[in-house]
């Protein structure tokens, strides 16, 4: 019973902390035609120079796993841009008072926020057909992001984000 309780807690903890992804693609494209890529010529992710380097390192590793090779004459360009936002962490302390008599009761309550806002990062991965200059595949990934994390933790987070993004490539028609 104790093992079941801890397993459920661990599952809940990892589910809340994992990146979430949404995919979209051009249904007319034959994705097996693409085997090499390059970063978009005007690649500007919106991240700091150090974080952008970590993102590119993660992207290169995962693209290689997917069977792509980096090329000077690519079939697709890969572009990534980011947006950072904060979201309420939903932790609250409830405070209330109430009273009543007979068949009448009255109460007032409210929640007081505890802690600070959670920081999230939204990364959009675009695959662009070089020849046609059209977007053929896109993944949007939202993930919690600790801006105070050390470099190793940041690299691990980018690895997870890129892995989640490319999980949907090639699309299953």
63 in a domain, yes or no?
Answer: yes
Nearest to 46 by CA among 100, 123, 156, 120: 123
Total domains present in the chain: 1
Classify residue 31 by its DSSP letter. G
36 in a domain, yes or no?
Answer: yes
Q: What is the mean predicted confidence (pLDDT) over 70-95?
A: 82
Domain with 27 in it: what CATH number? 3.30.160.670
Omega into 170 within 30° of 0, i.e. cis?
A: yes
Average pLDDT, the chain: 84
81 in a domain, yes or no?
Answer: yes
Q: Which residue has the higher pLDDT, 106 or 65?
A: 65
What is the tens place of the pLDDT at every residue in 28-58? 999 999 999 999 999 999 999 999 999 999 9
Is the CB of residue 89 less than 8 Å from the CB of residue 117? Answer: yes
Classify residue 136 by its DSSP letter. E
52 in a domain, yes or no?
Answer: yes
pTM for this model (two decimals): 0.74
150 in a domain, yes or no?
Answer: yes
94 in a domain, yes or no?
Answer: no
Contact residues for 97 (Cβ-Cβ < 8 A; gap 6+): 107, 108, 109
- Domain limits at 82? 20-88+116-166
83 in a domain, yes or no?
Answer: yes
Q: What is the mean predicted confidence (pLDDT) over 129-147?
A: 94
What is the tens place of the pLDDT at every residue in 86-135? 766 566 566 667 777 777 777 766 666 655 667 889 999 999 999 999 99
Residue 63 confidence (pLDDT): 97
Taking the C-alpha atoms of residue 144 and residue 152, their distance in angstroms, rounded to an integer, is 16
């Amino acid at each position: 019973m104790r093992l079941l309780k801890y397993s459920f807690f661990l599952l809940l903890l990892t589910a809340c902390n994992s990146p979430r992804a949404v995919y979209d693609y051009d249904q007319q494209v034959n994705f097996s035609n693409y085997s090499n890529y390059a970063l978009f010529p005007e690649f500007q992710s919106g991240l700091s120079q150090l974080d952008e380097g970590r993102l590119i390192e993660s992207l290169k590793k995962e693209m290689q796993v997917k069977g792509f090779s980096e090329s000077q004459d690519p079939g697709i360009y890969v572009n990534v841009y980011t947006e950072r936002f904060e979201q309420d962490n939903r932790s609250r302390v409830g405070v209330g008072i109430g009273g009543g008599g007979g068949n009448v009761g009255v109460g007032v309550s409210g929640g007081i926020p505890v802690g600070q806002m959670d920081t999230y990062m939204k990364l959009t991965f675009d695959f662009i057909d070089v020849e046609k200059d059209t977007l053929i595949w896109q993944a949007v990934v939202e993930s919690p992001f600790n801006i105070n994390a050390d470099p190793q933790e940041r690299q691990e987070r980018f690895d997870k984000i890129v892995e989640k993004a490319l999980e949907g490539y090639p699309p299953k028609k």
